[in-house]
């Protein structure tokens, strides 16, 4: 699916959840006006609260409860099951889970939660368990893209609709799942490449700390980055790439190996902040000074944005994990019989030396 995305200014976003709601709700010719659909938190724009902004996709396909074969449900009296993929050691996951819980609480919706602790087999059994406990609707943050068939069959047998957030599952929209809400990860990779080109002057040897294998985020962030480098800075050569599994510990270990084998490395593209912070620790341990090796990462966690202010990281592309409002708006519209977009692409900001200090409060 072609994903078009606006390139937002550095975190100066248009508003917000009302737009998002309009996109989600008006897809079904909703009767609410934009400002009724979902107001930003009182006293501030949702952008200040870091809520997700949707990139309208007028030509996108929709899904309705009838087409999906879902039974009529009143969200207010329903039980929603949330399956989280990775352990809550990564601020991305902490913020993501908090956003889902906060939105359920705001709406007074009963929420059952499970965390797979980064083990795919556990995520499969977690979802089966949520179904057994009576979940009427599921929100799933998948660890992997493949292997979901058993869960999809079990949910379909119980007519339990699934909304997927963050990572994509290889299945059929509006049959196996209702809607997929996520960032544009190829675009994130391209924007990270732009920051790397700026930081390095477009010449020299660079390395990639790859995310975990088996999911679209890693493949798409890698593709976006490499395509952009090839297009804009052929003088930058990727001479090393290895997975750091999206963890700080592995990111540090791999970087320690990297600087042994490639002492002249000029830049490191870490496919998430945690690995980027691991790389920083490795460089510190090797006696390097801040900025000696240019680090660019993706997520937008507080620690990484602070590391920009401290000179260790050159740039961070945001990957906004606050899926709660959009996920529940999608469930609400869907259970009211309104068509919802099968693909909802959110916009992400970015941080660099120019805005890190002033926008630190928007990081998570
Ligand atoms: C991206 C998400 C990634 C984060 C990592 O949306 O799937 O998984 O970038 C996390 O921090 O491990």
Q: Report the chain's mean pLDDT, rounded to a whole number.
A: 89
One domain, residues 230 and 201: yes
- Residue closest via CA to ligand 1's atom 6 equals 166
C-beta 123 within 6 A of ligand 1: no
Tens of pLDDT, residue by residue over 76-124, are 999 999 999 999 999 999 999 999 999 999 999 999 999 999 999 999 9
One domain, residues 273 and 159: no
Closest atom of ligand 1 relative to the 246 alpha carbon: 12
Establish if 103 belongs to a structural domain. yes
One domain, residues 169 and 271: no
Q: Are 348 and 359 in contact, with CB atoms under 8 Å apart?
A: no
Of the pLDDT bands very low, low, confident and very high (cuts 50, 70, 90), residue 38 is very low
One domain, residues 171 and 214: no
**What is the pLDDT, as a whole number, of residue 278?**
98
Closest atom of ligand 1 relative to the 274 alpha carbon: 11
pTM of the model: 0.88
Establish if 281 belongs to a structural domain. yes
Of the pLDDT bands very low, low, confident and very high (cuts 50, 70, 90), residue 59 is confident
C-beta 362 within 6 A of ligand 1: no
One domain, residues 229 and 105: no
220 alpha carbon – ligand 1 mean position (Å): 12
Cα distances from 94 to residues 80, 187, 301, 323, in angstroms, run 19, 24, 11, 12
- Give the CATH number for residue 299: 3.40.50.2300
C-beta 247 within 6 A of ligand 1: no
Number of Cβ within 10 Å of residue 8's Cβ equals: 17
C-beta 243 within 6 A of ligand 1: no
Domain of 84? 62-183+323-344
One domain, residues 112 and 213: no
Q: Are 161 and 138 in contact, with CB atoms under 8 Å apart?
A: yes
C-beta 167 within 6 A of ligand 1: yes
C-beta 312 within 6 A of ligand 1: no
Percentage of residues in the chain having pLDDT higher than 90:
83
One domain, residues 189 and 291: yes
Q: Based on the structure, what is the number of domains in the chain?
A: 2
Establish if 49 belongs to a structural domain. no
One domain, residues 296 and 200: yes
Query: Mean pLDDT lowest for which of 19-23, 28-32, 263-267?
Result: 28-32
Run of H or E residues at 260: helix 248-261
């Amino acid at each position: 699916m072609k994903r078009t995305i606006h390139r937002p200014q550095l975190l100066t976003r248009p508003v917000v959840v009302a737009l998002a709601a309009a996109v989600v709700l008006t897809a079904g010719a909703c009767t609410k006006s934009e400002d009724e659909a979902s107001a930003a938190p009182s006293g501030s724009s949702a952008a200040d609260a870091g809520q997700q902004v949707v990139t309208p996709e007028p030509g996108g396909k929709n899904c309705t409860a009838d087409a999906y074969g879902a039974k009529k449900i009143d969200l207010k009296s329903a039980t929603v099951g949330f399956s989280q993929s990775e352990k809550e050691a990564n601020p991305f996951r902490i913020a993501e889970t908090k956003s889902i819980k906060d939105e359920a609480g705001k709406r007074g919706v009963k929420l059952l939660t499970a965390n797979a602790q980064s083990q795919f087999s556990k995520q499969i059994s977690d979802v089966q368990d949520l179904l057994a406990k009576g979940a009427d609707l599921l929100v799933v943050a998948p660890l992997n893209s493949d292997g979901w068939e058993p869960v999809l069959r079990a949910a379909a047998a119980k007519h339990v609709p699934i909304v997927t957030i963050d990572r994509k599952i290889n299945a059929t929209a509006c049959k196996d799942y209702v809607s997929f809400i996520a960032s544009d990860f190829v675009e994130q990779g391209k924007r990270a490449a732009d920051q790397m080109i700026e930081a390095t002057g477009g010449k020299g040897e660079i390395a990639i700390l790859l995310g975990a294998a088996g999911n679209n985020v890693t493949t798409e962030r890698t593709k976006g980055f490499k395509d952009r480098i090839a297009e804009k800075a052929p003088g930058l050569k990727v001479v090393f790439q290895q997975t750091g599994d999206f963890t700080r510990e592995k990111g540090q270990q791999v970087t320690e190996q990297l600087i042994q084998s490639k002492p002249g490395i000029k830049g490191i593209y870490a496919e998430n902040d945690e690995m980027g912070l691991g790389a920083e620790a490795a460089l510190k341990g090797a006696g390097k000074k801040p900025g000696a090796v240019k680090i660019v990462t993706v997520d937008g966690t507080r620690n990484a944005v602070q590391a920009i202010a401290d000179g260790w990281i050159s740039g961070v592309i945001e990957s906004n994990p606050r899926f709660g409002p959009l996920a529940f708006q999608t469930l609400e519209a869907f259970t009211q019989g309104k068509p919802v977009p099968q693909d909802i692409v959110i916009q992400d900001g970015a941080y660099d030396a120019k805005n890190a200090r002033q926008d630190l409060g928007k990081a998570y």
